[in-house]
Every structure is written in structure tokens, then in C-alpha cells.
Amino acid sequence: MVSVTPKVPVILLYTLQNTFPKVQQRPNSTLATKIISLVNQGQSRKGLLLFNQLQSFEVRVTGFLLTAVLKCCARLEALNEGKQTHCVIFKYGFNKDLILMTSLMDMYFKSRSVCEARNVFDEMTERDVIAVNGMISGLCRCNLTSEAVQIFEKDVGSWNSLISGLGQNMEGLGALNFFRIMRSEGMKIDLTTMVSVLSVSADLAALVNGQQVHCLVIKHGFEMYLPIGNATVDMYAKSGCINDALLCFNNITSRNVVSWTSLILGLGKHGLGYEALRAFDQMEMEGVVPNNVTFLGVLYACSHARLVEQGLEVFNKMIYKYSFNPMMEHYTCMVDLLGRAGKLEEARVFIEKMPVNPDVKLLTAFLSSCFSFMNVELTRKVGEKLLELQPDDAGAYILLSNFYGLVGDLEGVAKVRRLMSSRGIRKEKACTWIEIRGKVYVFESGDRSHLLHKEIYSYLEELIKKMKKIGYVPNLSLVVQNVDDQRKEEILLGHSEKLAIVFGLLSTPPGSMITIVKNLRICIDCHAATAFISKIAGREIVARDSSRFHRFKDGLCSCGNHW
């Protein structure tokens, strides 16, 4: 049995509070279309309010109308209202409607109600490909990939859903493996397959895999499709090949806002602020209207290139020319822009004048800038506010603890660590991966599971000796464990970034570029060490972390040591 019963005769969705004027009776298909339009405009709450108001009229309930309401519930993750809609589905006998039941299952998944979603799926008297693929996608979204594999059916739709779901669930290696199996079993590859695998390759920065998929795109004649072109631009940009991304972008004959936004985001991640601004100007000249994500990309690019005046100009253009209401992400970019430029007081005033309260990400960005410029007073104040606002965010604790360590405040370090322990907070495990000849290798800190781990540590120790002779000093303040200096150096030695880079040095020809990807921000010590390694080894090293790309060459980094 499902977890709700059809006992509620009407839906009480939300209390209507001066949101809509009274409306006259109209065809229900028009009402459903209106509600779906509100969902697409990001106004799902208004869609629910509109439906609530219409309950006082004699409006015929149809599956189409209820599907529109479920879309609102799914977007808002409004579980209670979704359950009430489930009751109405039973009341009016729509529980045999496959499309409607699939939408109901999707709503439960998006509301993190896995058991209810399973019940809906199990009670479907008939299931089509869409229902099965919806179940696979939902299970992957809820981190239940093993269960998704169990209901997997070997048609192209299920393959695509599984590959896409695994990729979105940060299981890109599994997604690529299923793609290889799909090909080995002779399954037909379609446009959706190509876009999904390109997206997974982009997230992993798996360049060789991405290049192989690009070849398949050309082989199957998909290169002229716009989604493929956009995905290819994104893949090369995220794999550190911004020039190849530009070539793919220039080959797109009819570029849309997604094309331009992918390019601008890529340029920004590579620290090419002026180039991103030029692309934005060209986009406007060609009559393509930017969206919220486009502006995020431009502001991000300005932030990482410290283009304060240009960033302010873009922010004002977004508001006054295009009439966009800034989202929290835009405000975060502006605070980051000011903070990276050392304008901490201006950033503080900007936050105070914002029409909304700052969220965790914004305060974290500000805290990072205060930390970088060693503003003790602001760092303490913002850090304490952040811990108060988000007591279960591990990143804030680690950043504040590292700061106290740098300024020699051991009592502050101990206090933060005690808080973490008492609240059960654990730092996300850092890992770094590198692709060698089409295979992705993952390293964790202190990792000794690799077959070449003895060679890796031995070569790394030799490098450290050479680095120290030309100025490298291990940043022991980053190690908060109560151990002696020699042990602290050993801990720093085993950081995942260093292990991946050394494995790359051992596994690739001299002079070739090395690309690594880290799931978190690259640490201060690894950043300094990588610069020295690039000089000693004569290699260009590209490191993609959770924030941006770092290009190390001849002992220097493209970020200017501020990221």
C-alpha cells in the first residue's frame, strides 16, 4: 500500500494572501498551461496558489491539470502538498494514468521521499520506458545507484538514464564504465548518450575519454546538433583545454545563450577575465539575451581576474538594463570580487546594504578573503557568524581552524576542533584524480593503495629536497594534529594533490602537460609546492579545484597566488 490514503476531499495547498485577483471559470487545459508556465518562470509557489484559489470554482479536475500541480510540488519539494495531490489522484480515479503516476513518482523523489516513490512505481499496473527511466534517475539522485542498476533494462533510454544519473551523483567513473559496456554490447548510441557522456567527461576532466567521445560524435554525424556543440565546449573547457573549447565554439553555426554561457564560464574558470568580458560584449552585439547563469559567469570571471570596475558595471547592467533581480549567487560573486581585490570594508558595507540576508556561501567567500588578507578582526567576526548560521558546515570550521593556526592562535584552533567534535562535524575527504592514457586514477591523502606507491613517495621525497634548496618551506601550520614537525611534514607530503602530480610525472613523457582535478580547494602548501615542481620538472601543470583552474609554469601560477 502507498503511504497516503485518498481521504482528503479537497486540496488545501497554501493560504491565499493577496496574490491573485479572483479569476473566472476557464477551460482546465488553459489552467494547466498557465500553471506550467508559472513553473517554467520559476514561480511554482504562485502556481500552487492559483490552483488553491480555483478550488472554490467548479473546475473539472483532469490528469493534465494534476500533472501541472505535481510539477509545482516537485520544484518546491513541497511534500505535504504533493501527498494531498496524491489523495486527489485516487479520489478521481487517475491512478491508472501512467504519465500522471510517473510525475507523482518524480515529485516524491525530488522531495527525498524514496519509500513513497518506490510504492508508486511498484503499484503501477503497467510501466513504460519513461516510468522505468524515471525510477532509475530518481534512485541515482537519492544516492541509491546500486538499486538503480538492479532495475536497469537494456534499452537505450535506460542506458542513458543510468549514465546520466551516475554522473549527476558524482559517480562519473561508473558512468564511463557503463558507457563502455553499452558500446561493447552493440547498443545504439543516440544524441542523449553523447551529451551525457560528454558531461561526465567534463566533470572528471577526463580529456582522453572526452576526445574519444568527440570522435564518436563526428563518426555518427552528431556534430551539427546544438546540444552536442555546447557539451563539447564545456568538456574541453573543464578539461583545461580552453583553446580547443574556443575552436568548438567557433564551429557552432547557430549559437544560443547556453553556447555563450559555456564559453564565458570556461574563460572565467581559466582566469581569462578580459576574454570573458569580450565574449559577453560579442554575445550582446549578436542579439543573444544573457540569462542569470551568464551573468554569474561574467561576474565570476571579473572576480578571479580582480576586475572590480568591470564587475560593478556588469552587475548594474544586469539590474538596470536587463531587469534581473540578483540571486544570492550574484551577491556572492560581488562580495568575492571586492574581497579578492582587498576591498574588505567595501565588501562588508555591500553585505549590510543587501536586500536579503547573506547565506553560508556568501559568508564563506567573504571569510576566505578576510583570511587571505590576514584581517584578524573580520575573520573572527565573520567566522563566528558563519558557525552560528550553519553549525554543520565542515568547510567553515576548517577555514577558521586554518586561520587560527596561521596566526599562531593555538587556543582558537583547539576551540574550533572541540566544536567540530561535539557537533559530530567531519571534514569532507579530499581526493585528487588524474587521467593517464584514458584511465582515471584517484588518490586520497596519505594514499598507499596504488601499485606504484613506493616509487611515488620516493620520487616525491627527492623533489621536496630539491624544492627546499630553492626556497620551498612546508606550511606546517596547516597540520593541526599535536605531533612533531617531522610528522607534520610527512602528513603534508601525503596530500592527494602531490601524489597525483608525482604519479603524472612518473607516467607521462618529459615535457608533456599534467592535468589534475581535486574535489575541494587546493591547499596553500600544495599550491606552493606545485609551483616549485613545475619549475624543477620543467612541466606545465594544470590543477582544477572546486573553485577554478590553476596553470603552473616556471614556478608561477595563473591565479597570482590568490584563489
DSSP 174-185: HHHHHHHHHHHT
Q: Which helix (H) or strand (E) covers residue 401, if one does? A: helix 394-406
Closest residue by Cα to residue 137 from 104, 167, 93, 176: 167
pTM over the 0.95 mark: no
Domains of the chain with CATH codes: 33-127 (no CATH), 326-427 (1.25.40.10), 431-557 (no CATH)
Cα–Cα distance measured from residue 391 to residue 433, given in angstroms and rounded to the nearest whole number:
30
Could you tell me how many residues make up the chain? 563
Q: Indicate the residue type of 58.
A: E
DSSP letters spanning 97-162: -HHHHHHHHHHHHHTT-HHHHHHHHHT-SS--HHHHHHHHHHHHHTT-HHHHHHT--SSHHHHHHH
User: What confidence score (pLDDT) does residue 563 get?
Assistant: 63
User: What confidence score (pLDDT) does residue 25 get?
Assistant: 38
In a structure prediction context, what are the per-residue pLDDT tens digits for the chain, which is 563 residues long? 333 333 333 333 333 233 333 333 344 557 777 777 777 777 778 888 877 776 666 667 788 888 888 888 888 888 988 898 899 888 888 888 888 899 999 999 988 899 999 999 988 888 887 888 888 888 887 878 778 777 777 777 778 888 888 887 777 888 888 898 888 888 888 888 899 999 999 988 888 889 999 999 999 889 889 999 999 999 999 988 999 999 999 999 999 999 999 999 999 999 899 999 999 999 999 999 999 999 999 999 999 888 999 999 999 999 999 999 999 999 999 999 999 999 999 999 999 999 999 988 899 889 888 888 888 889 888 888 888 877 777 777 777 777 777 777 778 878 888 888 787 777 778 899 999 988 889 999 998 998 899 999 999 999 999 999 999 999 887 776 778 889 999 999 999 999 999 999 999 999 999 999 999 889 889 999 999 999 999 999 999 998 788 999 999 998 877 66
Cβ count near 188 (within 10 Å): 10
Sign of CA dihedral 221, 170, 299, 326: positive
Closest residue by Cα to residue 545 from 462, 392, 428, 466: 428
Q: Indicate the residue type of 142.
A: C
DSSP letters spanning 442-471: EEETT---STTHHHHHHHHHHHHHHHHHTT
Cell numbers for 237: 573547457
